[in-house]
Amino acid sequence: MDTKMKQFPTNISNPVLSVGMDGTVLYSNEAGEPLLHEWGVRVGEKLPSSIGYIAQRVISRNNPEKIEVKVGKSVYLIVFHPLSMQECVNISGFDISGQKEFEEKPLESKEKYQDLFNLTEQAVQIGEIVFDENGRSIDNIILDVNLAYEKHSGLRREQVIGRGFKEIFPIVEQRWLDRYGEVVRTGMGMHFEEYNASLDRWFEVFASPMGSNRFIAVFSDITRHKQTEEDLLRSEQHYRLLHETMLQGVVYQDASGKIISMNPAAERILGKTPAEFLGSSSVGEEYLTIREDGSMFPGLEHPAMVSLRTGQKVQGVVMGVYNPRENFYRWININAVPIFRTGEDRPFQVYTLFDDITERKQEEHRIRRYNRILKGINRIFSNVVQAKTEEEVGNACLSVALEVTGSEFGFINEMGTDGLLHDVAKSDLGWERCFMYDKTGHRRPPSFFAVHGLYGSVIINEKGFFTSDPPSHPDSIGIPYGHPPLTSFLGVPLVQDGKTIGLIAVANREGGYSSEQQEDLEAIAPAVVQALQRKKAEEALRLSNIYNRSLIESSLDPLVTIGRDGKITDVNCATEQVTGYSRNDLIKTDFSDYFTEPENARAGYKQVFTDGEVRDYPLEIQHKDGHITPVLYNASVYRDENGEVIGVFAAARDITERKRAEHQLSNELARATGLYELYTLSLIHI
């Protein structure tokens, strides 16, 4: 309101006041003080009921009204102009004492008339209306004007006396002639406001009949007032248009917190009509509001109530408000601003301006969910590397599932070849107290289960589901003795290559489950499958490597693998023994360095890369103590999963005994040959 009143010129000579809907005087300029004194009130006090009633009527009807008020020897025309958006009335006063004196006192002499005529501050004109044959006003012949008329019109008296309107002014609005014509025709006075296009001015006019076709009109130039009024109207219209079309919600509340108005955006965001809201308060609506953490937002802590209580602005408060039309909570960011009356230190109203940030909150929530899922998946795969057993991986996967869904406990099961579900991981909730019958009919803590009940439904139907009332679910078979109470259940299948191989089941989320938790659990399920299968594969590979290693180590022949660069990548114990070097010393050294003929050894393994294999390739291994072991190498390439050659596998057969036997045989052969030659010579000499 202060902003509105500042738009009035401070030096305006006419009374200007502002009055609230309850009749309280909110503002008065200096010229308005005599009116307040006449009514017996001051700024901040209520008008007499007769005047206050007019103010209320003007606001409720949104229609201006005028009255005349006598203040001492002066008579004022009081105009009430409604400002409905602010629920107040602007009051303007105009001194019409001169006109009243004209109307009430007959002229006694030409001199007295002329003196009074010229002393009047308002412009005065005496005219005679000219009618056509149809009784229509067609001109106004000016008979007399006062000095003030010259000032207002810019025309001298001698320029207008005896001349018609249409002769004097280039533009004559027919409205002027019609109004004057009605005054002389009906014999009744008229008060009106009209624009003169020729003078580009607004005038307030009091016209009275003088007999015959004559009349007297008293003019007040109200151009500045009209401009101010139009500015106010444009401002109000602009404010109203902004108020009605802005995307932000706006709600006004009185000093008690009761809602007194709201704009269409607020209705859309909050999901209630103004009629449903009006009269209610923040305290009355608190059960429909929540904080960001989901807890109730007490009404007395709402930004509007805090602003009313402290007289301070409250900014940037986020609140969830239940929208009954959508059956959904909308999130709003609120700023509350207190409104004060002039001279008062406590607000009499507060308005809250709020943005609908629901989509932003939903996107933030989606991102948090996405990040939580990614973090969980990362934890799962990190544990695959760190965990030593499949059970450890399973427990890590279950921990992520519980965290992502906010569940109290759960388990991960896999289908076995026996057609039963076998434990991979389960929450530690004192399962030793929970006994179930196993397939032999004995009661024992759960470890493998028949495919039935809620969890069995996930396997059988090969799709996830949730329920917030497990006992009433058609697939429920109850819970065994010692099992924790089941208040809600969510299960999703574990699928590999299109086949369901198990499930993740979680339970007892506070508030139950929704499709959101099911989607989140389904998002991590593939990672769980990959992690478990990878750990199984690693374990199988580990066992295979142990088995293969045992086979290699059990071989009496030296075995070695060689990379494409000729470096040793692995050896067995027999190689350590034949070279005298440890496995660690041999790995990453050049294969050819351990032979009596390195170049021949190098040529041998290169031949393997070229031909794919060698057979019975003779070499001599040199022990680090100098001892030499003759060997025959059989070698072939080995490949990776893509079929690429990545190295050579070579097996050396120790042929020391063979060499010794060959040497012996050679010696025996030489001895036999010598004896044969002696025998032959002896025969010759006989």
Same domain, 381 and 408: yes
Residue 182 lies in a domain: yes
Look at residues 335, 356, 377 and tell me which one is the last residue of a structural domain.
356
User: What is the predicted pLDDT for the residue at 533?
Assistant: 86
Residue 685 lies in a domain: no
User: What is the predicted pLDDT for the residue at 238?
Assistant: 52
Same domain, 275 and 134: no
Residues 6+ positions from 457 with CB-CB distance below 8 Å: 465, 475, 491
Same domain, 217 and 250: no
- CATH assignment at residue 472: 3.30.450.40
Same domain, 523 and 376: yes
Half-sphere exposure of 551 (CA within 13 A, CB side): 5
- CATH assignment at residue 279: 3.30.450.20
Helix (H) or strand (E) holding 599: helix 598-611
Same domain, 581 and 619: yes
pTM over 0.75: no
User: What is the predicted pLDDT for the residue at 189?
Assistant: 83
Cα–Cα distance, 215 to 284 (Å, whole number)? 63
Give alpha helix (H) positions in 81-222.
Answer: 97-104, 110-119, 147-153, 157-160, 165-168, 174-186
Residue 550 lies in a domain: no
Same domain, 315 and 423: no
Same domain, 167 and 198: yes
What is the token pair recorded at 152? 């207002």
Same domain, 464 and 597: no
Q: What is the pLDDT of residues 112-139, one digit of tens each?
A: 555 556 666 788 888 999 888 888 898 8
Cα–Cα distance, 214 to 297 (Å, whole number)? 74
Residues 6+ positions from 107 with CB-CB distance below 8 Å: 113, 116
Could you list the mean pLDDT of each consecutive 10-residue stretch along the chain, which spans 686 residues? 45 77 87 89 90 85 81 82 77 71 52 58 86 86 87 85 84 88 88 86 87 86 77 58 70 88 87 80 77 89 93 94 90 92 87 90 86 88 81 90 92 85 78 50 51 84 91 84 84 92 92 91 91 81 66 77 91 90 92 93 90 92 91 89 87 83 73 70 65
Same domain, 81 and 104: no
Beta-strand (E) ranges in 29-87? Answer: 65-71, 74-83
Look at residues 227, 260, 294 and tell me which one is the last residue of a structural domain.
227
Residue 337 lies in a domain: yes
Residue 675 lies in a domain: no
Same domain, 104 and 84: no
Containing structural domain, residue 492: 365-540
Closest CA to 403 of 517, 519, 529: 517
Same domain, 250 and 335: yes
Place of tokens 């509105």: 4
Helix (H) or strand (E) holding 529: helix 515-554
Residue 604 lies in a domain: yes
What is the token pair recorded at 313? 């602005």
User: What is the predicted pLDDT for the residue at 262?
Assistant: 85
**Number of domains comprising the chain:** 5
Closest CA to 404 of 362, 364, 426, 374: 374
Check: CB of residue 187 under 8 Å from CB of residue 208: no
Look at residues 489, 511, 540 and tell me which one is the last residue of a structural domain.
540
Residue 32 lies in a domain: yes
Same domain, 645 and 529: no
Helices 515-554 and 390-405, interaxial angle, to 10°? 170
Closest CA to 126 of 134, 107, 135: 107
Give alpha helix (H) positions in 69-133.
Answer: 97-104, 110-119
Residue 674 lies in a domain: no
* DSSP string for residues in 402-413: HHHHT-SEEEEE
